[in-house]
Amino acid sequence: MASTDFVNDSALDRDDDDFDPMVGDEDAGLPDGRYLDREISWLAFNQRVLELAEDPTTPPLERTNFLAIFASNLDEFFMVRVAGLRRRIMTGIAVPTNVGRSPNDVLDEISERAHELQKRHAAVWHDDVEPQLAAAGITIVRWDSLDASDHEYLTQYFADQIFPVLMPLAVDPAHPFPYISGLSLNLSVRVRNTRTGRQEFARIKVPQMLPRFVRVDHRESVNSVRYIPLEDLISQHLGDLFAGMEVIDHHVFRVTRNEDIEIEEDESENLIQALERELLRRRFGPPIRLEVTDDMDEQTLDLLVRELDITDQEVYRLPGPLDLGGLFEIASMPRPDLKYPRRVPNTALDFRPPEPNGKADLFAAISRRDVLVHHPYESFATSVQEFLEQAAADPNVLAIKQTLYRTSGDSPIVEALIDAAEAGKQVLALVEIKARFDEQNNIEWARKLERAGVHVVYGLVGLKTHCKLALVIRHEDGKLRHYSHIGTGNYNPKTSRVYEDLGLFTTNDDVGKDLTRLFNELSGYAIEKKFNRLLVAPLHLRKGLLKLIDKERSNAEAGKPSGIRIKVNSIVDEAIIDALYRASQAGVPVDIWVRGICGLKPGVPGLSETIRVRSIVGRYLEHSRIFAFENDGDHVVYIGSADMMHRNLDRRVEVLVSLADERHLTEIDEMLDLAMDNGTSSWWLEPDGTWTRHATDDAGAPLRDLQDALMAKVSKRKRPRSRR
């Protein structure tokens, strides 16, 4: 799992904490203080990730992976959310947060909780996971614990692979304090000039292109491996870097900066060029966190605090090693005995070839009936990827239109679009180059697509295009037919192995025409007022969901069957939350399955007594969005890309599609039943905002793991026997 994968799309938008309820007078009768603080709720989400690392039943290398995820998540939180709060205070526009608190108050609580969480994070590594790995033959060693043979080997490795790329920077009247780049690991070094006796300060940046942990591998067996932190190896050879000087002391530190991007879009300016300038500027944002090893002396710390111009509140003293995000390298070791059992996704039933070694015709399968795929339980490669590759190779396919928000660096999806364009097909790719922290990657792919003849567009001015859409136009029997795919996740083969997502394939004419009109709107000047099977943000989605929620309220008041079940990454939008409160007050049962932030308070007497909120954090990143309504017994279910946040509803192009096949409605119902069942392991949200983990029953036996249960269920699916 990549460094930001576990939080992607969940929470970290720059402007979402603007208090903008957009509910007019409809909030009359609802009490003040009815929302939870979004920043604190996000920290609670990352705490749930940490609790998986703290869980002794989690396999050792998976615990290591969750420690790395926690660290990288927190880095991004500081770079975006904390930086945004700081910027508001500095610019004098410190408007209240979503719960009416001042940014200063929120920063104080963030600091308190972040300090506590980082200490827990370091403690579980040092006291629990690191010893557990050592017992399994994976040891993080220190220089002093190695023998002469190891020293000789590592000294040679340092001379050959590390020393040539190091750049010690002196700090004195002729050399000002150097710029410390964000998220870089650094050594502060104090040396004494042996001729003058004067003490000097220097900084060494630990090269980010080198392995974070150096393998001491000159005499290990397969199951006995030792690593030394790169900064520890460098620190043992400071004499080579400061020849003729006496090395007095050294310490490790790390700076987090505001690395968010602000783009003023101007139709007269090339968006890619503007973004490239901002990417360069990103590296020079102001410092917002300083992590130092707990043995750093006060003289060095005072110098860093003064030169970086930060407060004591922004200093985090931690036991080394810092930057435990580097544990991704350790977690990726080929030790299956220390990881979750290996799982191979199944090919969706409708896409399985008729013969064992044959190849399925996906167009024929989709033309027979709608197909709903569930990743990673069902294969992305044999569904979405195969769909686009067959479209690229099929002479009857005339056009392919697709959105690309995030994709992998060696994406077969992009290659399929290039192949299609080179084969003479009309190909449109809507590339969202402002996808956070994937901007540079998306710029490179956009240019590669353009060179191949793909029509590349960048969406609508002022809006990110976040929807996950693919439309294939195929010539069949003298007519044109639409083959549509609408998903909840990115067209990214790598993340599809760890992201839980849904995707609908259909030849439904209403869906195809909806997508055709929507792509025309995104690439041209069309403005659509209405769609048949889609709810599209920013014009229609909020209104559509509020209407569906209010209908459940009316049904409950009329004594008709009612119910709302929602699965999202985050829910903070005040208008949606207030609508759910009013539905609850009318007696509508409301179940919310949320991965990350939740601004809603469940179980409050007179306000939300019928609302339950659960969270599941596990092996796979729960990423699909589902909106299900009882609708007086005639179930309505939508899936798509939108979370219940201001950005998704008001500042992004998002799409939800309604499911029509009864099989799919049943599948969604059963999954939601399983997730909300008291026998399933999950976290429960309490009215005061605390999350309580329910992982064992009263007898101490582990509760059902939802993801294991779904994998087992999908693996047992069999194609029904054909009638003769």
3-state SS of 352-401 is: CCCCCCCCCCHHHHHHHCCEEEEECCECCHHHHHHHHHHHHHCCCEEEEE
pLDDT in tens, 686-710: 999 999 999 999 999 999 999 999 9
627-644 pLDDT, tens digit each:
999 999 999 999 999 999
pLDDT in tens, 544-588: 999 999 999 999 999 999 999 999 999 999 999 999 999 999 999
- Tracing tokens 């609408």 back to the chain, one arrives at 486
Q: How much is the pLDDT for 409?
A: 55
pLDDT value of residue 18: 42
Q: What is the pLDDT of residues 472-508, one digit of tens each?
A: 999 999 999 999 999 999 999 989 999 999 999 999 9
What pLDDT is recorded for position 427? 94
Q: What SS3 state is found at 175? A: strand
pLDDT tens for residues 164-182? 999 988 886 666 788 888 8
Nearest residue to 622 via CA among 365, 376, 361: 376
Q: What is the pLDDT of residue 15?
A: 46
Q: Which CATH class is domain 349-532?
A: alpha beta
| pLDDT, position 245 | 84
User: Which of 382, 369, 247 lies closest to 659, judged by CA?
Assistant: 369
In this predicted structure, the answer to whether residue 527 has a pLDDT above a threshold of 90 is: no
Q: What is the pLDDT of residue 514?
A: 95
Q: What per-residue string of b and e applies to 167-198 under the rule 16 or more CB within 10 Å gives b?
A: eebebeeeeeeeebebbbbbbbbbbeeeeeee
Active-site residue, selected from the candidate residues 374, 466, 623, 664: 466
Q: How far is CA 414 from the centre of its chain?
A: 21
Task: Note whether 533 and 657 are within 8 A (CB).
Answer: yes
- Token digits of residue 171: 């700090």
The residue among 163, 167, 162 whose CA lies nearest residue 186 is: 167
Residue of 277 and 200 predicted with greater confidence: 200
Name the residue with higher pLDDT: 513 or 359.
Answer: 513
- pLDDT exceeds 60 at position 275: no
466 is catalytic: yes
Q: Which part of the chain has CATH 3.30.870.10? A: 349-532, 536-715
The correct answer on CATH 3.30.870.10 for the domain covering 536-715 is: yes
Greater confidence, 10 or 169? 169
476: tokens are 């069949």
For residue 11, pLDDT over 90 is answered with no
pLDDT in tens, 397-433: 999 999 987 665 568 998 999 999 999 999 998 887 6
pLDDT value at 383 more than 90: yes
Tell whether the model's pLDDT for residue 395 goes beyond 90.
yes
